[in-house]
Structure 1
């Protein structure tokens, strides 16, 4: 064992008070498994704009009780330094059902209590949107949600929200990371402290939930629901997550709970997600049991939320085949529906806004241009969408929808983050409106495409535990040519423009600097092919060991758009990333 690894092991054993993780490290030392020790100890788990997310286990590179306490102590110290009165304002802490989530949440609460913070601690399983909602309504300084969202069962995470109810954005991430580094020694390690500490509030939850349901009812009564709507059957699955009681309560608001048929094998929270390979509704196979349940009951609609119920998915049975709608398709359909309801109510079109990210479909931009409402583009991630929406609402604007292609939807301003429960209720009312018009969702999307243009998105990823390899593959693209470095062709396509938000480069601007915020912490490079016929973004994930690609292609017909998207997808595999040669996995 080299000296640097030995120092990390010594540091770990000196401060870790959890017997399981201590023994895990001791056993690795005893058997001389230095490769695994290096992997779990270095580098330290990074604190980014999504907080923490990693596999559960011993070591500074993993999610465990020690790294959670360290993160909480650092976050608390950062709040004291930057938000006047933050201790009195307090923080909100909640958790989902994943392995160790409850313990991590209780230790998080203890760290903040020890720093003199009032703590609003949820004592039961919640869906993630309740944290940003609670922050807004309690006027708290911040919030922490223990969840790994749709990651595999071996993961957990620590998601951080700011006082405006949105996930944090730079420079807060670096500030918090710096404070964590200065507060590594645990000051308190007490899972029971939150049960009796005078600054712990555990009675607020009932009132907060009443407010959440009240605001949801008020928004939908005004914007999506009408009394002429008739019952409509659909199948719903929470994919072993926390969603079912929250979806049931949402349906009760308008007496629609009888519309839902659930999936018994996936109804209850189960941290092992035993019936799916990945608990992500985007992944193949995740909705198979729901499809089977729907077929059994002859129901043509399936809806789903991911395990922490902040994402929403939809599928429709057409011509005896299930069609899963992409995140972009759902987003555009929702925007179209919400806008039409808004316009039909006689409200001012020039005050209506839809937000989406740089990797979302260009169809939304086309829709906004033709209809005359505003479309705002942000960086990838709901932290950017939520903060942009908050700024617009402060100016008196109506944000009808903010969405990202990864099945995340913020309907209205109830929560400044994606909310799968709210999105599901909105989509149900959309389905009921279409039923009155005897239209399918597929038919409506065809009409949308005919009106605003044929766009096809093709999004996927490569994965590798070697995240430096993934970043290296993207960096190699910056050295492809002798002119500006970036490649000038891909397959038969000319690359006409490049925007690199890692290197602060944009070929379309006068000074060649990017207009959107830049960051060197991850890769984000967009290539425009043939003057916009295809727009493709390559980015490394901040929360998973993935190299993601997002392709949006247009054409004069659906077939041509699909052909362009498929061709570019094959070209980036064969010419740029060569998964077999580079040892990359694919879904």
Structure 2
């Protein structure tokens, strides 16, 4: 009781201080924001944190926390769970929820009233709390909310939006980020992540509705809400999802997988995938052995520092269990069930081969096309069939499409672009049977317009079982695919910078490149060398790398909308001023891309060369790609000069 009285006294003192402007930094820009923040923030520990900074006159930290606001990027608002507007916390979640509600009222109030929204959450700290805060905002305004009663995988939200015609979907999840990060992923009424245009509109409504309504903090309202307003879709969605997985894989292959003696080790990386994955594989009668220390959701991620499938260390526990149990195959899903990773014990019974995202994309492309042809039984017409990949993924699907006579579409990086393209094609009566991005994200049906790690894992298990019945290994099958369509040699990684401004400067220097005196070494066919892009900013792209050794034929720069492979020199992709991305096509056939996502302090690079065995050996092809990458890094990126560090794994 005494503690409670003391808190009331402290709060009254703070209010008095606010009235008399005792919490002042003498900064005309900062002080009004501090006053509003302390007036709106209800979490006492967060208030105390800001007050302590004010009293210490820590202006730099205060500006970082309060003048910078988390923004929607790639369909997600994401940040460290810290006080202030630049972090994920109750106040920022409420402001986001209020802005989203006003946006949805503006675009489709009638359907919002009838069908409402769906909300899901993972097992991270505060995820359920954030979900309840947003649900409260909508329920109080008498808009229906379907909120899952337990932790779910992110694809369930997309699936629920389309199944129940919801106006929007919200998933509270930190994805593959470290444990201190959380986020809000937003899906539109088509089941896809919101587009950049929608992002800017939602952000505008957030900024217009910053002051929390009084009811927003009272999540107890949900306990007494009518079922028509607040319901749990979990059981119905799980049942429908299991049926969906069954329908994706043809019966012949399901039967083979169910009879296969092969057992797979599975890890959920302390995320939410195992419970759903177990029910799916039990229905398919496929055998798994879970990693017992990693299958239960744990927001602390005690055994994994970075729960990202791109980190090869995430499978260490699973590999140890496999070798102990005399098993050869390991599968992992990321913490929110969006991505999958797969590794196979080599014939030496010591080392492992972990398949990279492009290799899995090649295997899935072959597998999905094979099943599609078998489903149709009669002569198959592929004129209406599509596969999609991002422009930084391997071109293997494009090569398959050219030979097999189906259609291929390339998009900007990110599954929001891929899924929305798939939706548009579906609206035109087209069939999209497979999509992938270069971050272990795969989509196998246009009934669920998001990447799905559980469906991808099941596909891998079925592929391995089928190939085993044919006395063939999955590695041999991949070689067979590359022999048929060309070996797609792909190399990529990323550098980390101190800030994204450093990387923006690197791209600016590329656009105003000071070419060495190599004019005489360059051939006239080098379009970039003798046809500079004319514009007021005097952009002059590089002509080559390695002092003229590797000549650049074409350049595409989506940040300014330039592409000199097109007749009008305009990129077929929409201009993305906030996304730094330049692609170089070299005369030797290598396609290389440098890119940085908005507000991200990572410079990603990738390069690919398609090699036919008769034209060049695979080893020589790898050496050539490696040398071009090395020259690009030296000529354009200059890690030492710019203080960049290479990815550690």
Q: TM-score, normalised by structure 2?
A: 0.87
Deviations 1:6-47 (A, max 9, x none): 333222112111122212212222233332222222321112
1:46 aligns with 2:71: yes
How far apart are the structure 1 equivalents of 2:225 and 2:408? 47
For residues 543-554 of structure 1, the aligned pairs below 5 Å read 544-554=600-610
Contact 1:145 1:160 in 2 (8 A): yes
1:136-535 matches, cutoff 5 A = 136-187=162-213, 188-198=216-226, 200-222=229-251, 224-227=253-256, 229-256=259-286, 259-320=287-348, 321-345=351-375, 346=377, 347-481=380-514, 483-484=532-533, 485-491=540-546, 492-530=549-587, 533-535=589-591
Alpha carbons of 1:564 and 1:274: their partners in 2 closer, same or farther (altered >3 Å)?
farther
Structure with the larger RCO, 1 or 2 (CA within 8 Å, 6+ apart): 1
The gaps in structure 1 that reach 5 residues or longer are none
Cα 1:196–1:564 change in 2 (3 A) is: farther
Residues 222 and 471 of structure 1, relative CA distance in 2, 3 Å threshold: farther
By how many angstroms is 1:240 displaced?
Answer: 1.0
Pairwise CA distance, 1:221: 4.1
Q: What's the secondary structure of 1:308's corresponding residue?
A: coil
- Shift of the 422–354 alpha-carbon distance from structure 1 to 2, 3 Å rule, reads same
Aligned-pair distance for 1:471? 2.0
Would you say the 8 A contact 1:224–1:338 is kept in 2? no
Separation (CA, whole Å) in 1 of partners of 2:32 and 2:619: 59
* CA deviation after TM superposition for structure 1 residue 299, in Å: 1.3
SS in structure 2 opposite 1:277? coil
What CA distance in whole angstroms lies between the structure 2 residues aligned with 1:63 and 1:19?
16
Question: Residues of 1 paired with 2:42 and 2:247: CA distance?
Answer: 48
C-alpha distance in 2 between matches for 1:231 and 1:38: 60
Moved more, 338-347 or 223-232: 223-232
User: Does 2:163 match 1:134?
Assistant: no
Deviation of 1:465 (Å): 4.6
Contact 1:382 1:417 in 2 (8 A): yes
1:175 Cα shift?
0.7
Deviation at 1:93, TM superposition (A): 0.5
Matched, 1:578 2:638: yes
More divergent stretch after superposition (199-208 vs 365-374): 199-208
**Residue 139 of structure 2 contacts residue 230 of structure 2 at CA under 8 Å; is this kept in 1?**
no
Q: SS of the counterpart of 1:210?
A: helix
CA RMSD of aligned residues (A): 1.9
How many angstroms does 1:155 deviate by? 1.0
Which whole-Å deviations, capped at 9, do the CAs of 1:264-288 have from their partners, x for residues lacking one?
2211111222222311011131111
- How many pairs are equivalent? 584
Following superposition of structure 1 onto structure 2, how do residues 79-98 of structure 1 map, counting pairs within 5 Å?
A: 79-85=104-110, 86-98=112-124
Query: 1:436, CA displacement in angstroms?
Result: 0.8
**What's the offset of the Cα at 1:135?**
0.5
Alpha-carbon distance in structure 1 between the residues aligned to 2:629 and 2:277: 36
> How far did 1:429 drift?
0.8
State yes or no: 1:74 paired with 2:99: yes
Residue deviations 1:495-553 (CA, integer Å, cap 9, x gap): 1111111111111122211111222122122111226x211122212474322222222
Retained in 1: the 8 A contact 2:583–2:591? yes
Structure 2 CA distance, aligned partners of 1:137 and 1:421? 19
| Structure index of larger Rg | 2
**Unpaired runs of 5+ in structure 2?**
1-24, 516-531, 534-539
Classify 1:476/1:43 alpha carbon distance in 2 versus 1 (closer, same or farther; 3 Å): farther
| Over 3 Å off, 4+ runs | 221-224, 226-229, 481-484, 542-545
Aligned mates of 1:42, 1:56 — CA distance in 2: 17
